[in-house]
Amino acid sequence: MTSGSNSKLWGGRFSESTSDLMEAFSESVSFDRRLYRQDIAGSQAHARMLHKVGVLGAADTQAIVDGLDAIRAEIDAGRFEWKTELEDVHMNIESALTQRIGEAGKRLHTGRSRNDQVATDVRLYLREAIDALLEVIERLALGLLDLAEREADTVMPGFTHLQVAQPVTFGHHMLAWREQVLRDHARLLDARKRVNVLPLGSAALAGTVYPIDRAYVAEQLGFDAVTRNSLDAVSDRDFAIEFCAAASLIMVHLSRWSEELILWSTPMFGFVDLPDRYCTGSSIMPQKKNPDVPELVRGKTGRVIGDLQALLVLMKGQPLAYNRDNQEDKEPLFDALDTVSACLRIYAELIPSVTVNRPRCRAAAAAGYSTATDLADYLVRKGLAFRDAHHAVGAAVAYAVSKACDLSELSLQELQGFSALIEADVFGAITLEGSLAARNHVGATAPDQVRAAIAQARAQSSP
């Protein structure tokens, strides 16, 4: 390059070249190159449209489409030379195209700007990524259903305040997790609607003078609609923020499961065993088997929430329309995508392989007076007011604690000491099975209800 000029694609009005530090500071090709497939698809659709409306000749259009195909193959094969001085994925590909096909390559950028181009690329990329995530979530939801079915009768303590509260089935607990990811699935599908709108045609900010056919571009690229306002379309990244919010919620759910799996797999709980292939040992303590997957998932949740935060703050001070700030949208978005995808994938694989220790779960449910409410409800059925029943059972629990036994281990005479209404049929009500079976309505934990919920879920097609 001669001094006093600038060889960039946009260098016409510049009298000196970019400083090295500026080049390194402002480049994005090191991370936006992952948009190359979308960038090429967008350019090919744009070229075909320019031809359709009479702006680009047939030979030039063919050369552009073929040239871009060849460049994609080169990138796929790892033979493409990315140049930092060409700043971003868009100018790297456009420049390589012109080098390859000459004059025709220079006509590609007619009627568009990198501003609508990058917005299009990111939306295409995110749409495809969301579709892949939806599939993984469907697999995960199916895995939970299988585990729930296997453990539909398994008694475990349900907790509030992490204190033993009432017996539930392990299957019911798995179906609770499943509800969470089904909402996550629905949220992603909903966010996808707002992602899948085509910004191309907005050009730099105000639209373009050429007689473009935006609907034709949208149709080629599988967009549901075109954006209605060019200023908004090149500027707002709320679709990416919305995705990161949905991703954060997914991570929060996975993190809560992780916390439970970590607790449950300690010897103190001993409810579950995670397969060795998902655990690691300690370099000093030979007995250790650590639940690394749930711990990492819990830890990675902070990253994704951080990505959401980064995008929100990135957007909040920007006037219309495009600002270079928006180049900063990609790394948090990609990080959130990669992280949530990795976590969902490993859980989709791990969940079906969790082994449940049924005797341990049962023993824990039996140890914490989890059927005390059932005894109170029994007294209510015999005519006592609930508050009085609650009080009587509280006294019975205190007595059982002092004897270090369960309520069901007290004799009938002992129990009758707390209420004369108690009869021999009490023992049916305060066993673990009695407690579970009594909660027999939609949404409750009775094994029959859990099985009905599973059957209903299987009858519904997706997911």
Token pair for 1 = 């390059």
Residue 45 CB, shortest distance to ligand ARG, in Å, is: 18
Token pair for 245 = 């919010």
Nearer to ligand ARG, 27 or 151 (CB): 27
Residue 314 CB, shortest distance to ligand ARG, in Å, is: 11
- Catalytic, 161? Answer yes
Say if CB 214 and CB 200 are below 8 A apart.
yes
DSSP letter string, 156-224:
EEEEETTEEEEEEEHHHHHHHHHHHHHHHHHHHHHHHHHHSEE-TT-TTTT--SS---HHHHHHHHT-S
Residue type at 121 in one-letter notation: D
Report how far residue 106's alpha carbon sits from residue 96's, in angstroms, rounded to the nearest whole number: 11
Nearer to ligand ARG, 230 or 445 (CB): 230
Residue 124 CB, shortest distance to ligand ARG, in Å, is: 14
Using CB under 6 A as the criterion, what x/- string covers residues 55-74 for binding ligand ARG? --------------------
Report how far residue 438's alpha carbon sits from residue 454's, in angstroms, rounded to the nearest whole number: 19
Question: Which of 46, 48, 107, 114 touches ligand ARG (CB under 6 A)?
Answer: 114
DSSP letter string, 52-85:
HTTSS-HHHHHHHHHHHHHHHHHHHTT-----GG
Task: From 136-144, 176-184, 319-327, 440-448, give the range in contact with ligand ARG by CB under 6 A.
Answer: 319-327
Nearer to ligand ARG, 166 or 326 (CB): 326
Residue 161 CB, shortest distance to ligand ARG, in Å, is: 48
- Catalytic, 370? Answer no
Using CB under 6 A as the criterion, what x/- string covers residues 354-373 for binding ligand ARG? --------------------
Q: Give the position of tokens 């047939």.
A: 58
For position 28 contacting ligand ARG by CB under 6 A, the verdict is yes
Nearer to ligand ARG, 9 or 437 (CB): 9
Question: Which of 326, 339, 370, 408 touches ligand ARG (CB under 6 A)?
Answer: 326
Question: Which of 118, 164, 221, 247 touches ligand ARG (CB under 6 A)?
Answer: 118
Nearer to ligand ARG, 202 or 326 (CB): 326
Say if CB 46 and CB 204 are below 8 A apart.
no
For position 18 contacting ligand ARG by CB under 6 A, the verdict is no
Token pair for 25 = 């500071």
End-to-end Cα separation, the chain, in angstroms? 58
Residue 296 vs residues 71, 134, 293, 341: alpha-carbon distances, Å: 38, 22, 5, 13
19 contact partners, CB below 8 Å, separation of at least 6: none
Angle at which helices 447-459 and 114-150 cross, to 10°: 140
Residue 27 CB, shortest distance to ligand ARG, in Å, is: 9
Residue 28 CB, shortest distance to ligand ARG, in Å, is: 4
Number of residues that bind ligand ARG (CB under 6 A): 9
Task: From 36-44, 101-109, 110-118, 404-412, give the range in contact with ligand ARG by CB under 6 A.
Answer: 110-118
Residue 99 CB, shortest distance to ligand ARG, in Å, is: 20
For position 44 contacting ligand ARG by CB under 6 A, the verdict is no
| Active-site residue identified among 3, 161, 441, 461 | 161
Phi, psi of 336 (to 5 degrees): -60, -45
For position 115 contacting ligand ARG by CB under 6 A, the verdict is yes
| Active-site residue identified among 5, 26, 282, 353 | 282
Residue 113 CB, shortest distance to ligand ARG, in Å, is: 7
Question: Which of 38, 44, 235, 327 touches ligand ARG (CB under 6 A)?
Answer: 327
Element of type H or E holding 273: strand 272-273
Shortest CA distance to 158 belongs to which of 365, 431, 351?
A: 365
For position 93 contacting ligand ARG by CB under 6 A, the verdict is no
Token pair for 202 = 């907005």
332 contact partners, CB below 8 Å, separation of at least 6: 244, 306, 307, 308, 310, 311, 314
Task: From 194-202, 322-330, 405-413, 423-431, give the range in contact with ligand ARG by CB under 6 A.
Answer: 322-330
Nearer to ligand ARG, 264 or 322 (CB): 322
Residues annotated as part of the active site? 161, 282
Q: Report the interface residues with ligand ARG, using CB under 6 A.
A: 28, 32, 88, 114-115, 118, 324, 326-327
